């Protein structure tokens, strides 16, 4: 059975076609600049060369048609006909409190998704465009929605309630939701398999460090706390997002720099984080290069980022009354040995003993980076959000 996984952004659409018989990726790719000048379609079929083209893509429907045309192409295609795609799994960022698991998408679910869009105006409308485009082009193919927030719906109220008037939660659903749930779920399950212990016996801190970053406390297989909140702006600093700040800074910025609320929002989301501190880039590779060339602000960005991740690990050890495993995943977590070293430096009170040489020499594969026999172990576990979406979709379609 083949499942098409779709992750739609406002002007982009990522896809993977996965053969669930052996969970192999048959083809993947990305449609970019949808609705803009010079759109780009990148299509990578398994074992063949990547194909880049610039077909006209006025909207997401055009993009879906072109993706299907690529997948069924006589020469570079990987399936003979669209009917081989048994279902489509969509990534949806925000499921609010309505969705604590994945769902089949019908008219009623579409309606609830539209209501949730208010909670995530930057992400959900784009996800919905992707779903609507697929429903229009493939009206007879079942569709499922898999939510970034769902895994965190197990958090207890003391972790998700903000210290604001309670009616704000009751009337307007202002609370911590958390994001990157599919990733935190996947890597916590994988690390339990790697260790060879049931997840029901493990306390795990998962560090998803990418362009957007979040940390989660996963106790006995369930998320009990996570650093992102009502929106993906809260928590550790990110590429361009500030993470936690004193909320009084917002008023100060409005008054002192004459900023509108929208301008402050854009400042905190797009101009802050390691980009804001370093003044170099949001990409940790650029920051590392600048730090090596003695750029003090770049070094400071690395230090602030790793210190804040470390603080969350300490907080979550407290939240779970201990920690057995710390997992690093996503672009930075899987690849940046220096950030991992800085994060784990000074966690000896938890019983972390980093194998520095090994840590500096590995990237992008499942591996333990602590010394054997230490109390709290650390691992790199590459994430695979698409596989979680495909597995959930398959489960729903089968029954």
With CB under 6 A as the contact rule, the residue among 332, 369, 380, 397 that binds ligand ADP is 332
Question: Do 325 and 379 contact (CB within 8 A), yes or no?
Answer: yes
The phi, psi pair for 52, rounded to 5°, reads -110, 135
Query: Which residues have a Cβ under 8 Å from the Cβ of 321 and sit 6 or more positions away?
Result: 203
Smallest distance, ligand ADP to C-beta of residue 335, A:
3
Smallest distance, ligand ADP to C-beta of residue 308, A:
16
User: Which CB, 324 or 334, lies closer to ligand ADP?
Assistant: 334
Q: How far apart are the first and last CA of the chain?
A: 14
Q: Which of residues 177-236 bind ligand ADP (CB under 6 A)?
A: 210-212
Taking CB under 6 A as the rule, does residue 283 contact ligand ADP?
yes
Cβ-closest residue to ligand ADP? Answer: 331
Q: SS3 for 159?
A: helix
Rounded-to-integer distance, Cα 62 and Cα 265, Å = 32
User: Which CB, 285 or 375, lies closer to ligand ADP?
Assistant: 285
User: Which CB, 106 or 279, lies closer to ligand ADP?
Assistant: 279
Binding residues with ligand ADP: total (CB under 6 A) = 12
Taking CB under 6 A as the rule, does residue 285 contact ligand ADP?
yes
Catalytic positions are 148
With CB under 6 A as the contact rule, the residue among 9, 89, 130, 239 that binds ligand ADP is 239
Smallest distance, ligand ADP to C-beta of residue 214, A:
10
Rounded-to-integer distance, Cα 309 and Cα 303, Å = 10
* The 143-147 sheet, strands edge to edge: 51-53, 40-45, 24-32, 13-19, 2-8, 85-92, 143-147, 103-104
The number of beta carbons lying within 10 Å of the beta carbon of residue 257 is 10
Residue closest to 118 by CA, chosen among 133, 96, 103: 96
User: Which CB, 86 or 342, lies closer to ligand ADP?
Assistant: 342
DSSP conformation class of 221: T
Taking CB under 6 A as the rule, does residue 361 contact ligand ADP?
no
Taking CB under 6 A as the rule, does residue 284 contact ligand ADP?
yes
The phi, psi pair for 3, rounded to 5°, reads -120, 130
Smallest distance, ligand ADP to C-beta of residue 301, A:
11
DSSP conformation class of 371: P
CA distances 116 to 97, 146, 165, 248, Å, are: 9, 14, 22, 28
Taking CB under 6 A as the rule, does residue 240 contact ligand ADP?
no
Span near ligand ADP by CB under 6 A; candidates 75-83, 258-266, 279-287, 297-305: 279-287
Where along the sequence are the contacts to ligand ADP (CB under 6 A)?
210-212, 239, 283-285, 330-332, 335-336
């Amino acid at each position: 059975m083949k499942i098409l996984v779709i992750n739609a952004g406002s002007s982009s659409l990522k896809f993977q076609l996965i053969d669930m018989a052996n969970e192999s990726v048959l083809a993947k790719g990305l449609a970019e600049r949808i609705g803009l000048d010079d759109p780009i379609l990148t299509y990578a079929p398994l074992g063949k060369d990547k194909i880049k083209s610039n077909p006209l893509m006025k909207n997401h429907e055009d993009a879906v048609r072109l993706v299907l045309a690529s997948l069924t192409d006589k020469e570079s295609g990987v399936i003979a006909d669209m009917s081989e795609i048994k279902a489509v799994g969509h990534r949806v960022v925000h499921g609010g409190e309505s969705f604590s698991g994945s769902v089949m998408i019908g008219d009623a679910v579409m309606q609830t998704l539209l209501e949730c869009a208010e909670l995530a105006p930057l992400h959900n409308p784009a996800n919905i465009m992707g779903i609507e485009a697929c429903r229009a082009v493939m009206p007879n193919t079942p569709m499922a929605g898999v939510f970034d927030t769902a895994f965190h719906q197990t958090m207890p109220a003391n972790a998700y309630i903000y210290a604001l008037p309670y009616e704000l939660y009751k009337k307007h659903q202002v609370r911590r939701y958390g994001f990157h749930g599919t990733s935190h779920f996947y890597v916590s399950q994988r690390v339990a398999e790697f260790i060879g212990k049931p997840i029901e016996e493990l306390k795990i801190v998962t560090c998803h460090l990418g362009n957007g970053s979040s940390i989660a406390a996963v106790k006995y297989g369930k998320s009990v706390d996570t650093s992102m909140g009502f929106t993906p702006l809260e928590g550790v600093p990110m590429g361009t997002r500030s993470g936690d700040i004193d909320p009084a800074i917002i008023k100060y910025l409005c008054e002192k720099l004459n900023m509108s609320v929208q301008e402050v929002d854009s400042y905190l989301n797009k101009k802050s984080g390691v980009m804001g501190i370093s003044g170099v880039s949001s990409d940790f590779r650029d920051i590392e290069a600048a730090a090596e060339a003695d750029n003090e602000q770049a070094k400071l960005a690395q230090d602030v980022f790793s210190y804040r991740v470390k603080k969350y690990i300490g907080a979550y050890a407290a939240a779970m009354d201990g920690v057995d495993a710390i997992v690093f995943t996503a672009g930075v977590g899987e690849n940046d040995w220096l950030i991992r070293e800085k994060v784990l430096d000074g966690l000896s009170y938890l019983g972390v003993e980093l194998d520095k040489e090994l840590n500096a020499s590995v990237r992008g594969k499942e591996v333990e980076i602590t010394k054997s026999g230490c109390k709290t172990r650390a691992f790199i576990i590459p994430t695979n959000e698409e596989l979680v979406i495909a597995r959930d979709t398959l489960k729903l379609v089968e029954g």
